[in-house]
Amino acid sequence: MADMPVTPWDDRVQFRSNDAESFAYRPNQVIVRRSSVDLIARRLGLTAKDGLVVDDVFGGIEEPSGDDLVVVRGVPDPIAVVDELRRDDIEAQPNHVLFVHPHASPSPGGTPYPGGTPYPGGTPYPGGTPYPGGTPYPGGTPYPGGTPYPGGTPYPGGTPYPGGTPYPGGTPYPGGHSSCGCQPPCGWWTGQVEGPRFTSAMPSVALSHDERSHRKAIKGTACKVLVLDTGAWPDIVCAGASINPAAQAAKDLLATCLMASDPDDWDGDDNRVLDPAAGHGTFIAGIFANLAPGAKVDCERAISSYGDTDDATIARILLDKFDLDAEEPSYDIVTMSFGGFCDENDPPVAIAHAIAKIQARYARPEPGSDDLIQQRVVFVASAGNDGVCRPTWPASFENVIGVGALGPDGPAWFTNYGPWVNACAPGVDIVSTFFDLGPEARLDGDHFDGWAKWSGTSFSGPIVAAQIAWEWMCRGNEGRPGDAASWLLDRPGHYRFPGLGTVVNFA
């Protein structure tokens, strides 16, 4: 099994691929306990002089035992080293690479969703429930164990992408996933859709606070949301662009929610072409501004404009952003619209420890409980767009709400699914805030003046997180954010899809 460098990440991402367990990792890096560093150095015959560098994953926050996690850089063959350490029952992992979860790239078209819903022109499921008057797939179940389209299959003659997933528009893992015995087979749902699309249309209704607060009155204080993403661009307008009414509306909308956020970089390599994940965080910030008015959003830049991050980076940022000495947590909800597969399908060790530290610090007295209602800080993560049931992380953690995507007529054809997915929300042709790039910056001839369409579980996750924030604020901050999440997802009578969990709908 060869390690394959790929563009545009070149020197910072490699893939390990076999029939069922493809994953991406940082070259020359392993995550181990500090006590294992000397063993690695001895076995490799390397020292700091040879380029072996040890970095604290948690920025100096130590485990009670003193044996904290570290990243060892400069390891020539990290997979071989990890395998050898595991044979000796030593905890070790490659530094897994995780990717954002948009489906393709942003594109023009559509109108902003004033006051309302992420589907312009109406609500995705009028009538309160997503499928009034009947089941979504008469004569069969959506999945697993049946075909998604009654009377036939969506791709006659075969699955749309046998043996793998289409990138862009899915996680770039070669080799696919074929050994889990899914019915329908993994990959069945994966398809190509348009990415974010430009809109030059003005909002049909002014985006006033009252119009966005279209359901209830807020009784409590602002819900504090941490978005780990590409950052956000509150000014909307990039160099060379002039402000226009649509861009001004987008800018005004973001101003209602954004706290101090890292800038969203649209052109990381200075080639005047929109990078694949540029605007991702700005887009998500707009979802919160529109669907959870009153929330305060901090968009932390944890992902490159090409859409990649890694286990150690996310863990370090999480613990940098939370002051664990404070009586109350720095944030109420954390949203993560990224993820990936891991070696042996084990959870990424650094993120696992970071989330556990934060939740344990602010948990209710019952120690060891994994019940969502016990959580003071709610974590929400997008499930991914590979059309498979293989667990992606961090969405698969038991103490994280994993979110899949819906289209206008049912499950989105690209969404991941499985027992680890807790909820689903609209994820096709979502409209939100985007860069105004100006006349010199174009993507395939398109231009963006403050708004765009985009699809993917990347945006379903924030819709669910926004609903949790909204419910908690409207309930006067009663209980904990986890109580609002439990009310939203766990109550009997809510509409649910097998493998996609509770339908979260703003209709």
User: For the segment 136-191, what is each residue's pLDDT rounded down to a tens digit?
Assistant: 332 233 333 332 332 232 332 332 332 333 333 444 444 444 444 444 444 434 33
Instruction: Please report, for the chain, how many H helices and E strands are present, in that order.
Output: 9, 21
Per the listing, tokens 């993507």 go with 443
Kindly tell me if the per-residue pLDDT of 313 is higher than 50: yes
Token reading at 143:
């999945």
Average confidence (pLDDT) over 480-494: 89
Domains of the chain: 4-97 (3.30.70), 103-126+192-203+221-503 (3.40.50.200)
Q: Which residues are registered as beta bridge partners of 72?
A: 30, 54
Average confidence (pLDDT) over 201-205: 34
Looking at residue 42, what is its pLDDT?
86
Q: Where are the beta strands (DSSP E) in 13-81?
A: 14-16, 23-33, 53-56, 69-73
pTM: 0.79
Average confidence (pLDDT) over 329-350: 95
Looking at residue 279, what is its pLDDT?
85
Q: Which among 95-109, 353-367, 448-462 has the top mean pLDDT?
A: 448-462
CB 380 within 8 A of CB 342: no
- Measured in degrees and rounded to the nearest 5, phi and psi for residue 287 equal -60, -45
pLDDT tens digits along 218-247: 666 889 999 999 988 776 555 444 566 677
Looking at residue 99, what is its pLDDT?
94
pLDDT tens digits along 236-291: 555 444 566 677 787 778 878 877 666 666 555 555 566 778 889 999 999 999 99
pLDDT tens digits along 99-135: 998 766 676 655 554 444 444 333 333 333 333 333 3
Average confidence (pLDDT) over 372-384: 83
> What percent of the chain has a predicted confidence (pLDDT) above 90?
40
- Measured in degrees and rounded to the nearest 5, phi and psi for residue 227 equal -105, 115
- Exposure on the CB side of residue 17, measured as CA atoms within 13 A: 16
